[in-house]
Structure 1
Amino acid sequence: MANQPTYEVTFLSEVSLQSRVFNDSLKKGIEHNVCMVDIEQLLESVSLGVKLGDYVLFDYHYLDESKLEQYNQARLASENNAREIIINCSRETSSEELFKWRNLVGVFYLDDDMSTLFNGLEKIFEGEMWLTRQVAQDHIEYFRSMTTAKTSQAYANLTKREKQIMYLLGHGASNVQIADELVVTENTVKTHLHNIFKKINAKNRLQALLWANNNIALEERY
């Protein structure tokens, strides 16, 4: 993860022996600053003016409805639009259940091992999303149903290949999957994404997807 900024990661979980062991592994496995807190500690920190981390990592089984509501209060008070990652999620969890997180960029499941987690987190810190294709598609379908958009001139200014990549991006494809689909290298995909982000003033894949929802008509998007 050379030449990458160092991010602040808030790990929201019950403070227990198991979570402390996981937190120690997390600190060793990623080159970013990790702070583990429970919901009470989070609320206290935010009340003192401490912002949420750049990323918030949730232990899915720790957050019940009450804690989630408290988290949302802390998020609004913090005002820094942290990106959200879920761990320890059941494979049976519906996509609709995950829509409670508006800035969701990654979901990791109970049967994922630590190497999968670290690999996924690295991709997320590089600006990608780590969602199954189905969850990504459901996520986009849900939020696009809430808005109607006309195609902007900025989208019309994209090249044919850039529009193809935006289409695949909108269907939850990773860089590797896009490269395979278009029969190009992953580096070529990254170059195209860099150019797309520059043209639409987006910093990462999530912002690009949100931009698409507001700037591309549905009939052209899917």
Structure 2
Amino acid sequence: MKCSNAKIIFVTDSNSQSRLFIEHIEARLKCEISLLSPVDSIEAIKNNNALILLDAAEMDDSRMQNWCVSAAGKQGLVLAAINLRDENHATQVLASVYLKGVFYRRDSVDLICKGISKLLDDHLWMSRSLMTQLIERYRNQQLNAYRPVGGLTQRELEIICLLGSGASNNAIARQLFVSEHTVKSHLYNIFRKLDVRNRIQATNWARQNLGVLPNISASAARKPAETRSAKNGLAGTDAPGL
């Protein structure tokens, strides 16, 4: 995307300072820059081959995010943020929006022009230290995604989710194709790891730490156990607490 066939759009409030900035950039890059208000819609951009500069000094994170979400469905649009306070601010913004470039308030016009040229050539424009922070954050997110919650194994997480639906030991065993003895052993380990004493406490812990639990039909989960008990003429014999 070269300046000759690309459109540059500066999303900011229209005032003497922003118009002066646009004049400087246009003179340096020999290209035309349009100005849109932060309250405008991205639909106002007719050219899909465009670089959009979002003014972080005039837009809050939610408005920037709305622009990025709208741009996601349009090919050829490149978004960058300008007037960010520092790298911490950039990291905060990049946690919720996808940008290919960032510019800081301290950046000179020459540096901004260089960055715009790189973005038009389909390169990223951000500092090495910022990239390092982003990579480190992504790595930590991946580690947290695979770290067992509360020390629970994947099987124990499955059991505690079924527990939250009201399923009996027998129903859980049939659902997971294991024995009731195995389910009781897992429940014992779950209670010990979570430092709880019964099913209700374990379920409450799960709802607080795991969010909304998968919902299976409690009546359907209990049905196999009830059917088996009826056939045997016996009531369920789950141990207290387990």
TM bucket (normalised to shorter chain) is 0.5 to 0.7
For 1:193-212, what per-residue CA distance to the aligned partner results, in whole angstroms no more than 9, with x for missing partners?
A: xxxxxxxxxxxxxxxxxxxx
Distance 1:19 1:4 in 2: 20
- Matching residue of 1:115: 110
**In the TM superposition, what is the alpha-carbon distance from 1:52 to its structure 2 partner?**
5.1
In the other structure, the counterpart of 2:91 is: 95
Q: What TM-score do the two structures reach when normalised by structure 2?
A: 0.49
- The yes-or-no answer on 1:138 pairing with 2:116 is no
CA distance in 2, matches of 1:145, 1:54: 34
Contact 1:55–1:82 at 8 Å: present in 2 too? yes
Distance of 2:63 and 2:136 partners within structure 1: 27
Residues 56-89 of structure 1: CA deviation (Å, up to 9, x unaligned) = 111111111442244245325x622522211111
User: In structure 2, do the counterparts of structure 1 residues 68 and 81 end up closer, same or farther at CA, with 3 Å as the change threshold?
Assistant: same
Amino acid at match of 2:131: A
Q: Which amino acid aligns with 1:101?
A: V
1:39·1:70 contact (CA, 8 Å) conserved in 2? no
Q: Look up the SS of the partner of 2:41 in the other structure.
A: helix
Cα RMSD over matched residues?
3.1
Residue 11 of structure 1 is matched in structure 2 by 10
Q: Moved runs in structure 1, 4+ residues, more than 6 A? A: 144-148
Q: CA–CA distance in 2 between the matches of 1:106 and 1:129?
A: 6
Match of 2:29 in 1: 30
Aligned counterparts of 1:4 and 1:66: Cα–Cα separation in 2: 29
Instruction: Count residues in correspondence.
Output: 142
Task: Report the equivalent of 2:40.
Answer: 41
Secondary structure of 1:121's aligned partner: helix
TM-score normalised by structure 1 residue count: 0.53
Displacement after TM superposition at 1:126 (Å): 2.5
Per-residue CA deviations over 1:126-150 (Å, capped at 9, x if unaligned) read 33222111211233445567789xx
Are residues 1:125 and 2:124 paired?
A: no
What SS class does the counterpart of residue 40 from structure 1 fall into? coil
Pairing 1:58–2:92 present: no
Going from structure 1 to structure 2, the CA distance change for 1:105 and 1:68 (only over 3 Å counts) comes to closer
- Separation in 2, partners of 1:122, 1:61: 22
The structure with the largest alpha-carbon Rg is 2
1:124-180 Cα deviation digits (max 9, x unpaired):
2233222111211233445567789xxxxxxxxxxxxxxxxxxxxxxxxxxxxxxxx
Q: 1:72 to 1:123 in 2, by over 3 A?
A: closer
Alpha-carbon separation, structure 2, partners of 1:69 and 1:120: 22
Question: Is the aligned partner of 1:82 residue 2:82?
Answer: no
Higher relative contact order (CA 8 A, sep 6+): 1
8 Å contact from structure 2 (residues 12, 37) kept in 1? yes
Query: Unaligned regions of 5+ residues in structure 2, if any?
Result: 144-242
Aligned partners of 2:119, 2:42: CA distance in 1, in Å?
A: 26
Q: Give 3-state SS (helix, strand or coil) of 1:61's partner.
A: coil
